[in-house]
Structure 1
Amino acid sequence: MTVTRSDHDADAAGADRSAALADALAQIHLSGAIFLHSEYTEAWAYESMSSREVAAVLAPDAARLVLFHVVLAGSCWIEAGSDKVWAHEGDVIVLPYNDQHRMGGHEEAEPVSIAQLIDPPPWTALPHIVHGTGGARSELVCGFLACDDRLFDPRMGVFPPVFVVTPPVGPVRSWVRASSDLVLQQTSRTADDRLGSPTDIPQLLLREVLKLHLSNAPATATGWPAALRDIVIAPALAAMHGEPGHRWTLAELARVSSVSSTVLDERFRTVLGLAPIRYLTGWRMHVAEDLLRTTTLPVATIAHRVGYEAEEAFSRAFKRHHGSAPSTWRERSGVAR
């Protein structure tokens, strides 16, 4: 058994993959800025405007909008769709499809429309929300980026509606905080109806956050930019991402892509380096990891969501991919609190 050789190869592969991910993400055109600074005290909760209303205010000409929140202090939950995830100081929350959402703290509170908390544009200064009843404090900065890349097309289902990234302690985590502080300091009025702020920092921040998120996705993540544009692969990817719990077969996926099973298999192997069903297994494990880390859903529920009828079968598959059982992995990773 050549443990040293194996570990070395894994490290090298990880470094190569990280570089490839960075290169792929660097090719995606993004534009945007920080648009909100907020301070909340327990008890508090708000509901965002609709996706259309947010887009109309921030970037009316953008094809797609990505929202993010950096938690500078405290902790909060955020809900987009049916699941509630938690974020804590130093975390970055991403809403890749600009979904309408709710956010709140540890104590129960009736959500207030954010339209009641923020003055309508045009803004002569960076909007600053102070809301709550005076208890424990949470502070966030919020930003947006406009992008027309298919990576952010909700029909492809590359990302969940909302996810939380925890930068590792060290330079990256410190950089996220320092970057947020810098943007807050440098945002200023540049015209009667316009604010100016550093636009390169939000782009760099989101790229780094996406790289951290995708680094745990199936090993084909670096091939996604090409795969999402491939007329054969893209429909099958959309089907798998959209319904990871469905019991997909190669024949079914081939029908979705309007090709033969042989053509689909060959195309996946050429572009992504994996057979379609192997890719599906990797994607299911990625979805399961997100749910284990950011929700308190029971393992059995997560198993069903990613296509396993029996919790035992899911646990075996998860352990093969991650080296530990789901419950153990969740404890080590710090389940949502």
Structure 2
Amino acid sequence: MIKVGIVGASGYTGGELLRFLHNHSKVEVSTITSRQYAGQPVYKVHPHLRDSDLVFQDINASKIDADLVFTATPHGASMNIVPEILETGSKVIDLSGDYRYDDIETYEKWYDLKHTNPLESVYGLPELYREEIKKANLVANPGCYPTGSILACMPLIKEKLVETVIIDSKSGVSGTGINPSSATHFPNCSDNIMPYNVTTHRHMSEIEQELNKAGPVKVCFTPHLVPVIRGISTTVHTFLKEELKEDVTSEYLEEIYEGFYNGEPFVRILKEGEMPRLSAVRGSNYAHIGCFQIDQHGRVVIVSAIDNLVKGASGQAIHNMNLMFGFDEKESLDFMGMHP
């Protein structure tokens, strides 16, 4: 049994961490923090957690007595508290972008922040870095868009089939966080699809960093806000290298993906005629990948679907925790989505 703390537990990702950890047989959640809701029971903020007796506390993160601390804090805030937590001997899984980058200058450019406390970390995508995560003290949980995008693209890059990927992602409104804005106000986002940061979204740099470790590739990424609560649907468009157009078929692509993700507990490769759906992964830690179509010009289309709050955030964080402490990888995460 390990003790776990959650810094910033009042947000959507904090609520999802608590939902999954509630039934974890080897975890006791000892501390949850929130300045705004200090002294209030957790169900006042997360009404679905009424069976929990946890109460929000406003305490310094370095005072948390835990084996592991999840920092569900905004970008720029984590870098100020993660070093203090690590000094206490606790391991950390950070859900912000502060420790995802190999190059601090890249982080500072895309986040427009000065990084004051760089540390060595492991990028927390289990399908790529399982063994490294097992030995890590600090895991940087991937972004939600990068999770769906990297999983959809990586086999193509590993096999050196393409040189450029164009990624079109559509995210539910929960991806913008718990605090409302004019963009997420119901009359503005309902019955609408809104592209934003069409060529400048910070997650493009994170996707490019990880894909380029498998081989040189140019990444073009555009996100959209769609009027659903949960989920990210990602469509990858790319062109096969000219010399490969005659040899690569849809069946071959499906075989590549099945081989690459063979044995992965939370990735499902869909068969011909099946299409990844947000409803099929909603509330679960699964990623569905499919389509594998090639048109007459050699354009390949791959589609992935994840729940942005689970596989794209809290579920993946718990998967990382299970690896770090030698638990069954699927502990507390082993259930299907909620379609329809």
Q: Above 0.5 in TM-score?
A: no
TM-score (norm 2): 0.24
Structure with bigger gyration radius: 1
Q: Kindly indicate which of the two structures has a greater share of residues assigned to helix.
A: 1
